[in-house]
Amino acid sequence: MVHILPARSAVPVEETWDLSSLLNGSTDFNEELTNLEKQALALNKKFKGTINDSKMVILVLTDYMLFTEKLVLVSTHANLTASTDQTNDKAQLQASKFGATAAKIGSQLSFITSELLSLSTETLEQAMEESTEFRVFLKNLLRQKPYQLHPEAEKSLAAFSSTFNAPYSLYNTTKMADINFGDFEVNGQKYPLSYGSFEGDWEVETNTKLRRAAFDAFSTKLKEYQQTTAKTYDMQLQTEKTTADLRGYASIFDYLLFDQEVDRSLYDRQIDLITSELAPHMQKYAKLLQRVHGLDQMTFADLKISLDPSYEPEITVAQSKQYIDDALAIMGPDYIKMVDRSYSERWIDFAQNKGKSTGAFCSSPYGDHPYILISWTGRMNEVFVLAHELGHAGHFYHAHQEQNIFNGRPSLYFIEAPSTMNEMLVANHLLKDSSDLKFRRWVISSIVARTYYHNFVTHLLEAAYQRKVYKRIDAGQSVNAGILNELKRGVLEDFWGDAVDINDGAELTWMRQPHYYMGLYPYTYSAGLTISTQVSKRILSEGQPAVDEWLEVLKAGGTQSPTELAQMAGVDITTEQPLRDTISYIGELIDELVYLTDEIEKADGVEISQS
């Protein structure tokens, strides 16, 4: 049953993360921020106007790297503190203050990039030869050269960075602080509703009347804020379009894909192939859900329900650790040591409380350990979620041990491969040596409903919708709530066909996703899962050699392009074959769910209806 969420202050401390190491033992955030401002000013005075040869390139980057390490820790403290309670005025003001100060610092230090890019290519290449530590940084810098503006323009843009980031902050404030969902009523009884309770509980509620009533109430309240949220999103889009034009990119897509180090063809292929070829498999899955639950019609509000809710075990945080340790043991003792530390040293925020950010994420600041946010409801499904976030943690835990701060982070295109890999390892572990039909069905349905639905359907349909939005923006147009609703509904209807009734409120799901403020992020989930699906198959068939290669990929961090990282793991993403193989694999899983359901119903004496 869903409960009213407590205030953050009422949550047991053992359910929260410990952020104390981020400020190096200091309890004064403002003092740390003031010190950073002074250090940035000192860097400006020391180096501005002096970067004229390879020796000075190396000297300035050495000092800049050390400064960046300190800045990241304070930034992470501000952002993570705010993420656990959007209603905490002190935390929100602290995050705003950091944003304003970071903009000043960025403006002070914008000369570094400008002066580096004013040097000849030969000088920069000489610096790359003399210091392998900065080779990747300078290589990426050279790629930016055609899009670099005049130094004074760069300084001005850096000074406005907190303003450019304002739409995302405004979105979060509207979503987590302003919207009060109140209660909804079914048969004279009232039930509490919030963002957290809807996405964590009501969306998967087995009682159809309650689930659909919660969806309707949730959608009705969202609709009251659709105009403000749409205007906020349009501000983000127009800022990105203006930046792309100012810097001389051919399109907003080229601008947003630049840092991902992939071309438009990989982006389009991921969306087009999945939208067309995965749809029939997922429509079959939707019809299976409808049949098993005896629904009069299959609506959008029913898509997240479990295939067999009676087989959904509840699980404690302590029990989750055992499952994850067992499943990820194949990754080796160092990896498991990291997992164990994440629990014992409170790297994870498990609490459910009012104002906490929805969903789950992992933040991995250089120079400290990773931090994971999740709202634990006790469902076995969350073992997959936690394993996913620990995949991000394990990635950067290994990369940061081997690489400097400039080399640690790979392209966004690859970022979801290590996380989804862990989900596959959990699933493979649970399926190993299991012959019980109901257990196998439960595990496979968890893979389909959690791992693949979430990453290959939810996020992919977000990407298909997002592409339509950006095409409008690239053509010089804007968006409003009506347009966004129409685009989202169209994408959902095209994918689900006549298998699912896209009921009123489904079109408003664009209001729920923060990824739209992070560039072309949503499609990368399916890209990462395509890679991890293929590598997990290798691990199953080849064992330790495939694991060792994967660990080397994690350690490589951002020193290779996503194509090169995938190649290191034995996957060629320059072709469409890995994606087609993954879609085929999802189809096989759904076919097995149909078969297992038929066998279970035969054994239970249930008459099978073919719908």
- Give the model's pLDDT for residue 199: 87
Same domain, 196 and 297: no
- Give the model's pLDDT for residue 328: 95
| CATH number of the domain where residue 46 is located | 1.20.140.70
Q: Is residue 265 part of a domain?
A: yes
Closest CA to 24 of 68, 66, 77, 67: 77
pTM: predicted TM-score of the whole model, two decimal places? 0.85
| CATH number of the domain where residue 211 is located | 1.10.287
- Give the model's pLDDT for residue 128: 95
**Mean per-residue pLDDT, 591-611:** 81
Same domain, 146 and 202: no
| CATH number of the domain where residue 580 is located | 1.10.1370.20
How do residues 200-251 score in pLDDT, each as one tens digit? 889 999 999 999 999 999 999 999 999 999 999 999 999 999 999 999 999 9
Q: Which of 139-153, 157-171, 545-559 shows the highest mean pLDDT? A: 545-559
Asked whether the predicted pLDDT for residue 303 surpasses 80, the reply is: yes
What pLDDT band is residue 159 in, cutting at 50, 70 and 90?
confident
Asked whether the predicted pLDDT for residue 508 surpasses 60, the reply is: yes
Residue 354 structure tokens? 């009012």
- Give the model's pLDDT for residue 5: 83
What pLDDT band is residue 446 in, cutting at 50, 70 and 90?
confident
Q: Is residue 236 part of a domain?
A: no
Of 124, 139, 164, the last residue of a domain is 164
**Mean per-residue pLDDT, 566-585:** 93
**Mean per-residue pLDDT, 27-33:** 86
Q: Report the alpha-carbon angle 110-112-114, nearest 5.
A: 75
Asked whether the predicted pLDDT for residue 497 surpasses 70, the reply is: yes
609 compared with 89, residue with greater pLDDT: 89
Between CA 505 and CA 64 the distance in angstroms is 49
**Mean per-residue pLDDT, 32-60:** 96
**Mean per-residue pLDDT, 553-566:** 95
Same domain, 40 and 109: yes
Between CA 59 and CA 116 the distance in angstroms is 12
Q: Is residue 235 part of a domain?
A: no
Asked whether the predicted pLDDT for residue 2 surpasses 60, the reply is: no
Exposed / middle / buried, residue 605 (Cβ in 10 Å: 0-12, 13-18, 19+): exposed
Q: Is residue 233 part of a domain?
A: no
Same domain, 307 and 209: no
Asked whether the predicted pLDDT for residue 451 surpasses 90, the reply is: no
Same domain, 327 and 431: yes
- Give the model's pLDDT for residue 27: 65
Asked whether the predicted pLDDT for residue 596 surpasses 50, the reply is: yes
- Give the model's pLDDT for residue 611: 43
Between CA 86 and CA 171 the distance in angstroms is 11
Q: Is residue 104 part of a domain?
A: yes
- Give the model's pLDDT for residue 68: 97
Give me the domain span that covers residue 185: 180-224
What pLDDT band is residue 106 in, cutting at 50, 70 and 90?
very high
Same domain, 219 and 310: no
Same domain, 465 and 437: yes
Q: Is residue 400 part of a domain?
A: yes
Q: Is residue 231 part of a domain?
A: no
Same domain, 322 and 464: yes
Q: Is residue 611 part of a domain?
A: no
138 compared with 86, residue with greater pLDDT: 138
- Give the model's pLDDT for residue 439: 86
Same domain, 212 and 289: no
Long-range CB pairs of 264-271 (<8 Å, 24+ gap) are 266/413, 266/527, 266/573, 267/520, 267/523, 268/467, 269/576, 269/579, 270/460, 270/463, 270/523, 270/526, 270/527, 270/530, 270/579, 271/460, 271/463, 271/464, 271/467, 271/523
- Give the model's pLDDT for residue 23: 84
Same domain, 508 and 598: yes
Same domain, 333 and 280: yes
Same domain, 214 and 281: no
Work out the mean pLDDT of the chain and round it to a whole number: 92
**How many domains is the chain partitioned into structurally?**
3
Asked whether the predicted pLDDT for residue 538 surpasses 60, the reply is: yes
